[in-house]
Structures are given as C-alpha cells and as structure tokens.
Amino acid sequence: MTDLTTMSAAELGRLIAAGEVSAVEVTQAHLDRIAAVDSAVHAFLYVDAEGALEQARAVDAARAAGQAPASPLAGVPVAVKDVIVTKGIPTTCASKILEGWRPPYDATIVERMRAAGLVMLGKTNMDEFAMGSSTEYSAFGPTYNPWDLSRIPGGSGGGSAAALAAREAPLAIGTDTGGSIRQPAAVTGTVGAKPTYGGVSRYGLVAFSSSLDQAGPCARTVLDAALLHEVIAGYDERDSTSIPQPVPPVVEAARRGAEGDLSGVRIGLVREFSPEGAEPGVVAALQTSVETLAKLGAEIVEVSCPHFSYALPAYYLIAPSECSSNLARFDGVRYGLRVGETPDSTLEEVMAATRDAGFGPEVKRRIILGTYALSAGYYDQFYGQAQKVRTLITRDFQAAFEQVDVLVSATTPFVAFPLGSRTADPYQMYLADLYTIPANLYGGPAISVPCGLSDGLPVGLQVMAPTMADDRMYRIAAALESTQEPLLSSQVPTLEGKTR
C-alpha cells in the first residue's frame, strides 16, 4: 500500500470507512512521520500521541460495532493551531505568557471535529498570538519551510502549513486575521481557506483582532479543505458573531470545480494589485494561472478597487487597536505567567512585569501601536479614519462583485523568504499580507491554492468571493488544481534524518 502520509484526507477517510485500513494505522503512520521529521521542521509545539491513538481506537471500535462513520473524515488526523483552546491539552498561542496553560474547555470547532471522528494529533506552531507573517515570532522557536529549511513557512500559521507540506498531517486548522491561513499555504504549496467572517465559530479561538479573526481549514487539496470546512462551519450560539445561515455547499462546489468547466464564470483581476510590488516569478505564475482559468471557459475581466491600496495601513491601525484591548486579559491573574511578585509589590507592578516578561517584541509593538491609535487626540485621525476606509474597501468589493463572480490575485507578493531577512524592519514583514488583507476587512471568504513555482518555491493563487459565497472560491480553486500535477508529489526534499 502507498505510504499513508502521502494520501489525501478524502482518500484516507474512504479507506477507513471501507475497513481497508484502520484509523489507528493511519494515526500511527502520522505520529511516526512527526517523530522522523519534526526535529527538522518544528511544526508542532505539542504532540498528543496518546490522546490521538485513543480517539483513533474509538473510531475503529465504532466501525467494528457496525456504526456508520460519523463523517467522511472519521479517523483522519488533524493538527490544530495553538491559538485554539483544547481541553486539558496545552494551549500557548506560542507565547511565554501562556506557557503550560491547559484550558478547561474545548473550542466549538474542536468539539465539532471530535464529533466528526477526526483525530487530533497536536498543536502547531505560530507567530505569538497570531501576529506575524513568518512564524519567527513564536516564543518557542521558528518553524522551517519543508521546501527549504533555511526559509520561513509563512505566518502566522506556519506550523499548520508546514505540517501539511512535510506530510506530518493531512489536515490542519488555521486562523486568518490578515492572511495567516492563506499566506502560509501559498509559500508551502498547500491549500488554505479563510471562510466568510462569521461562518465558522470562534468560541475558543484566543482573540487577537475580533472584527477580523476567522478560523478555517488547511489541507493539501481543495476537496480536503472543503470537507474540513463542512465539519467546522455553521451557526454557534456561543459566538455572537456567528451567522445564523446554512453552510454554503463547499464540498459540492469543490467536486464540481474538479470537473474543470468554468464556462459562464466571470473572474475579476484587481487593477490596483499592480505587479510592481511582486516578484517576477509570482507575476508569471499568476499570469499562467489566469490563462488556464480562461482556457477552462472563464471570462477574465479587469476591475478597479481604488481603495485596496489603503488596506494595509487600515489593517495595521485596526488590528493593533483591537489587539491592545483583547490582550489586556493577560494580566497575570487568571491564567499563565506571573512574575515580579514580592510582599511589597502592587498588582499594577506585577501586571506590568508579567506582561513585559511574557510577551515578545511583535506583540508589544502592536499593543503600543494600538494604544496610540486609540488614545484621545489620535482616535479620529487613525482608528476612526481606518474604520471609514474599511467601509470604502467593502464598497469596492461590492461594486466588483456586481461585475464578476470572484476576484483572483497572487496570494502574497513574494515566495518564502530566508529566515531573519525581514525581522529587523517590521513594516517589510507586513508587506507579506498586501493581497490577503482586503478580504479580512470586507469579511468575505478567500482561498489560496498552489499555482506553480518560482525558482523552485511554491506560489499561491488567491480566489476571493462575496460573503457567504464560500462555495464559489472552492469551485474556482478546484478547477485550477485539476489542471496541475500535485506540487507536493515530487518536489519537497527528503526530510528524514535532516537537521537544520
């Protein structure tokens, strides 16, 4: 039999349901793979081998007892970004301030995955509190891109994306505030989808920027991402931003897209995403993909979204402002770290010492920036103005979707960059999210799908759709995918026995 760690989640689910392989065998194969390669990749912050095998045994026992599979993904392993709380399993957000904390409850999406029979392998590395584009801001050391271990795997969800590319897991959960699912997917040759804001419950997602944060599926194929999307999506009364509407038919759309017929579909190219800021290899891969989509029958239309060029500044005012408020909860009282307590110290001193010791540099920068943007005298000029620009960006999207069904762009302006090359100048790091941020500000769904290589490194195509039309992006992404040889079949270097 083919190596179980090279198969898609859909295939694994089918084999387990048919009894051709057990959930325990599938889980053990991935645990073995983690043991063999994670010292080189460092995708995981915590591996729950015992818990995973126990869940796998339960799936096998249910099958032996004649029960129907709980879902098409029953028995399939999944890795979870460490910003999602998991009952009794360490959840750190890659921050020293939460080191060793074991949450007393499961996030809604974790409950849903358990109910669907998915097997949770462990928690993946990320930029601290999901702030970053390279996973270099993890307090527990970076993750390395399986394509080239001297390069970043993207961020903030670099651990989830690298785990997929290194075949340590067939599925993963990410979160996307400004591109943290899509940009890592692009630079690791994997698939990552940010659902419509409100489409997937955030109960148990540690908040960074509440008006933008969204959890979503990461996978190696579009269909796998859609299958996981269907498991985690849907209304949740515990999340007041959860949309009380049916989940868009994403799996059906992925299957339909794979048939490779896009006749009647209108695809928009955003004029303001000018190629000047992007690497030539990225521009070339985008060009080729757009030609392919046209060959499949789609009509390509250029559209104008004049305010997209202000998305990056608007985001870097809104997100830090919300972060400065959300992260106030880390006060050394209710969870995690407390330092600097003496018989004479006050609560305020302990709080300030704890937060200085517990937060890393990017988190501190954003807290200070957000405190500034929200302070009296600057509020209207910065935060207030950013919220108005957000309205204009939303209107740009709405006008564009009057003309076209979806918008496409490169996911990120550049391929995976070398570790350490952008940490000294935070604004250079922020540019990684140039094309992904508009969808967060608007709230619509967007997906990144592999679309070629530039100098041997993966490039991603982004498909953006109207809110609650998540199915559209899956259809287009699956159609493009159907024209390509899977990037990950032969290109990733051997990782076994490798050290950095």
Partner 1 sequence: MAAISREEVAHLARLARLAVTEEELDTFSVQLDVILQSVARIGEVAATDIPPTSHSVPLTNVLREDQPRPGLQRDAVLAGAPDAEDGRFRVPRILDEEA
- State the catalytic residues: 81, 156, 180
Angle, nearest 10°, between helix axes 361-374 and 311-326? 100
CB nearer to partner 1: give 18 or 368. 368
Task: Give the amino acid at 248.
Answer: P
Sign of CA dihedral 193, 198, 201, 207: positive
Site string for partner 1, 398-427 (x = CB under 8 A): ---------------------------xxx
Binder among 338, 453, 454, 498 for partner 1 (CB under 8 A): 338
Binder among 104, 264, 493, 497 for partner 1 (CB under 8 A): 104
The Cα–Cα gap between 109 and 55 comes to 16
The Cα–Cα gap between 334 and 98 comes to 11
Enumerate the β-bridge partners of residue 446.
194, 464
CB nearer to partner 1: give 383 or 474. 383
Binder among 28, 288, 304, 371 for partner 1 (CB under 8 A): 371
Binder among 147, 310, 435, 474 for partner 1 (CB under 8 A): 310
Closest distance to partner 1 from the beta carbon of 464 (Å): 13
Binder among 76, 367, 404, 495 for partner 1 (CB under 8 A): 367
End-to-end Cα distance, the chain: 31
Stretch that binds partner 1, among 27-35, 107-115, 292-300, 330-338 (CB under 8 A): 330-338
CB nearer to partner 1: give 45 or 212. 212
The runs of H, that is alpha helices, within 18-72 are 23-41, 49-64
Q: Does 316 bind partner 1 (CB under 8 A)?
A: yes
Q: Does 235 bind partner 1 (CB under 8 A)?
A: no
Other C-beta atoms lying within 10 Å of the C-beta of residue 348: 9
CB nearer to partner 1: give 103 or 174. 103
Binder among 189, 204, 336, 438 for partner 1 (CB under 8 A): 336
Contact status, residue 74 vs residue 38, Cβ threshold 8 Å: no
Q: Does 237 bind partner 1 (CB under 8 A)?
A: yes
Stretch that binds partner 1, among 1-9, 70-78, 147-155, 367-375 (CB under 8 A): 367-375
CB nearer to partner 1: give 27 or 326. 326
Q: Does 61 bind partner 1 (CB under 8 A)?
A: no
Contact status, residue 168 vs residue 79, Cβ threshold 8 Å: yes
Binder among 32, 39, 67, 105 for partner 1 (CB under 8 A): 105
In terms of Cα–Cα distance, which of 254, 218, 43, 13 is closest to 119? Answer: 13
Contact status, residue 173 vs residue 218, Cβ threshold 8 Å: yes
Binder among 18, 32, 102, 484 for partner 1 (CB under 8 A): 102
Q: Does 314 bind partner 1 (CB under 8 A)?
A: yes
* DSSP reduced 3-state for 191: strand
**Residue for token digits 């029960």?**
67
In terms of Cα–Cα distance, which of 282, 310, 229, 128 is closest to 473? Answer: 229
Displacement of CA 460 from its chain's centroid (Å): 13
Enumerate the β-bridge partners of residue 462.
409, 448
Q: Does 376 bind partner 1 (CB under 8 A)?
A: no
CB nearer to partner 1: give 44 or 310. 310
**Residue for token digits 């490779």?**
260
CB nearer to partner 1: give 262 or 369. 369
Q: Does 337 bind partner 1 (CB under 8 A)?
A: yes
Q: Does 369 bind partner 1 (CB under 8 A)?
A: yes
Q: Does 359 bind partner 1 (CB under 8 A)?
A: yes
* DSSP reduced 3-state for 478: helix
CA dist 235 → 109, 244, 318, 426 (Å)? 11, 5, 26, 37
Binding to partner 1 (CB under 8 A) within 113-172 occurs at none
Q: How many residues in the shown chain lie near partner 1 by CB under 8 A?
A: 74
Binding to partner 1 (CB under 8 A) within 186-205 occurs at 197-198
Instruction: Quote the tokens at residue 105.
Output: 């409850």
